[in-house]
């Protein structure tokens, strides 16, 4: 049986839990290689199974590494579990309340993060896919020739996605952000149908074989913009250097936050320092002031300090690092675009 399934079975045994219900698409994909398209109920137990809709049977049977069965109704699933003697059931934390409600009267239920914890530690093959996604994304960014680009934000975003797909990505890993001028102070700005202003902030990523990449570059033009850029770059570089296994995630966040605060911009750093990624663009753990997770080898996390001056402009610089004995930046795109 698959390594991931085996590890989760061990977790279940330790906690005396008989089965683990998983429905989030990327969790099901992680466990079975089958990527659901409508819905899926994956139940990890001694003999794991995925219930899928009639319409997905052909695809699921073709792709899944674990057994597939056609979903008929909640009642049928519940009766089949009971027949196997299953009395307690763990669920994903993200399970919709309405699904939980279908099972809660028939089983003792606990919310468990086994799958999230498994997904925190990437295998070499997962890191290779993230690296390939990053290489595709960075190569595509360079094709934009952003310094001489006279298009609109929207057109640049579209060109970037086109380059990524032409270079082998299956799609963008999230809505591409191309923002410029005062709008760049919105961390999640939407590209507008207006010509690129200054500075230009681009936050983008590709998906390769299911795995995401994530980078941000900000191209600045004036002295005041460069001053902010230098602070963010210092925070970026020193944070990457500080990361090592054994440290807590919140301690990494503090490194970036302290540097920006020293320059007097503490209240302009309005988000966390980074998030893990993999099959999803946002995974756990995160470099936030509240996340006490201990950093381990195999984690893949972004480092993305920023300073946002409302009404003026924003600067963010983001790389993704893979944790070995230290933090190895994935990809080789310079911070400074020139």
List contacts with a second copy (CB under 8 A): 37-38, 53-59, 91-98, 100-101, 111, 154, 158, 162, 165, 171, 175, 185-189, 270-271, 308, 310
Which one, 4 or 316, has the nearer CB to a second copy? 316
Nearest-approach distance from CB 136 to a second copy, in angstroms: 15
Rounded CA separation 318/179 (Å): 15
- Please state the length of the chain: 338
Measured from the CB atom, the residue of 187 and 245 that comes closer to a second copy is: 187
Structure tokens at 307: 């300073």
What are the C-alpha distances in Å from 121 to residues 50, 102, 118, 138, 327? 24, 32, 6, 24, 14
Rg of the chain on CA atoms, in Å:
22
* 3-class DSSP assignment, residue 301: strand
> 206: which strand partners?
172
CA dist 244 and 313 (Å) reads: 32
- Smallest separation, CB 73 to a second copy (Å): 9
Name the minimum Å distance from CB 272 to a second copy. Answer: 9
Nearer to a second copy, 190 or 335 (CB): 190
Least separation in angstroms between residue 37's CB and a second copy is: 4
Interhelix angle 223-242/249-262, rounded to 10 degrees, is 150
Nearer to a second copy, 103 or 127 (CB): 103
Whether the link from the prior residue into 208 is cis, omega within 30° of 0, is no
Beta carbons of 219 and 337 less than 8 angstroms apart: yes
Which lies closer to a second copy via its Cβ, residue 12 or residue 323?
A: 12
CA proximity to 18, closest of 98, 110, 93, 102? 110
We find the least distance from the C-beta atom of residue 194 to a second copy, in angstroms, to be 15
| Nearest distance from C-beta of residue 161 to a second copy, angstroms | 9
For the chain, first and last CA: distance in Å?
50
* CB contact at 8 A, 213 and 133: yes
C-beta closer to a second copy: residue 56 or 214: 56
CA distance 177 to 201: 8
Least distance between a second copy and beta carbon 245 (Å): 27
Nearest distance from residue 98's CB to a second copy, in Å?
4
**334, containing H or E segment:** none
């Amino acid at each position: 049986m698959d390594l991931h399934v085996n590890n989760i079975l061990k977790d279940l045994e330790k906690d005396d839990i008989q089965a683990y219900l998983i429905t989030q698409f990327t969790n099901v994909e992680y466990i079975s290689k089958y990527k659901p398209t409508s819905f899926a109920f994956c139940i990890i137990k001694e003999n794991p199974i995925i219930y899928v809709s009639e319409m997905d049977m052909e695809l699921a049977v073709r792709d899944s590494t674990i057994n597939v069965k056609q979903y008929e109704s909640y009642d049928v699933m519940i009766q089949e579990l009971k027949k196997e003697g299953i009395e307690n059931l763990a669920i994903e934390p993200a399970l919709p309340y309405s699904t939980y409600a279908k099972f809660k009267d028939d089983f003792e239920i606990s919310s468990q993060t086994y799958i999230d914890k498994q997904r925190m530690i990437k295998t070499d093959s997962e890191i290779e896919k993230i690296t390939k996604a990053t290489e595709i994304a960075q190569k595509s960014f360079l094709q934009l020739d952003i310094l001489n680009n006279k298009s609109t934000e929207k057109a640049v975003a579209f060109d970037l996605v086109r380059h990524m797909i032409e270079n082998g990505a299956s799609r963008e890993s999230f809505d591409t952000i191309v923002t410029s001028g005062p709008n760049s102070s919105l961390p999640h700005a939407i590209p507008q149908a207006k010509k690129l202003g200054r500075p230009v902030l681009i936050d983008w990523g590709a998906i390769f074989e299911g795995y995401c990449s994530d980078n941000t570059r900000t191209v600045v033009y004036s002295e005041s913009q460069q001053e902010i850029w230098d602070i963010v770059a210092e925070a970026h570089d020193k944070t990457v250097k500080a990361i090592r296994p054994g440290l807590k995630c919140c301690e990494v966040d503090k490194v970036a936050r302290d540097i920006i605060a020293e320059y007097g911009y503490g209240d302009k750093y309005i988000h966390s320092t980074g998030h893990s990624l993999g099959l999803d663009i946002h995974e756990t753990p995160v470099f936030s002031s509240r996340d006490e997770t201990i950093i381990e080898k195999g984690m893949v996390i972004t480092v993305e300090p920023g300073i946002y001056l409302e009404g003026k402009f924003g600067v963010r610089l983001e790389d993704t690092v893979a944790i070995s004995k230290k933090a190895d930046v994935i990809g080789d795109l310079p911070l400074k675009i020139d």
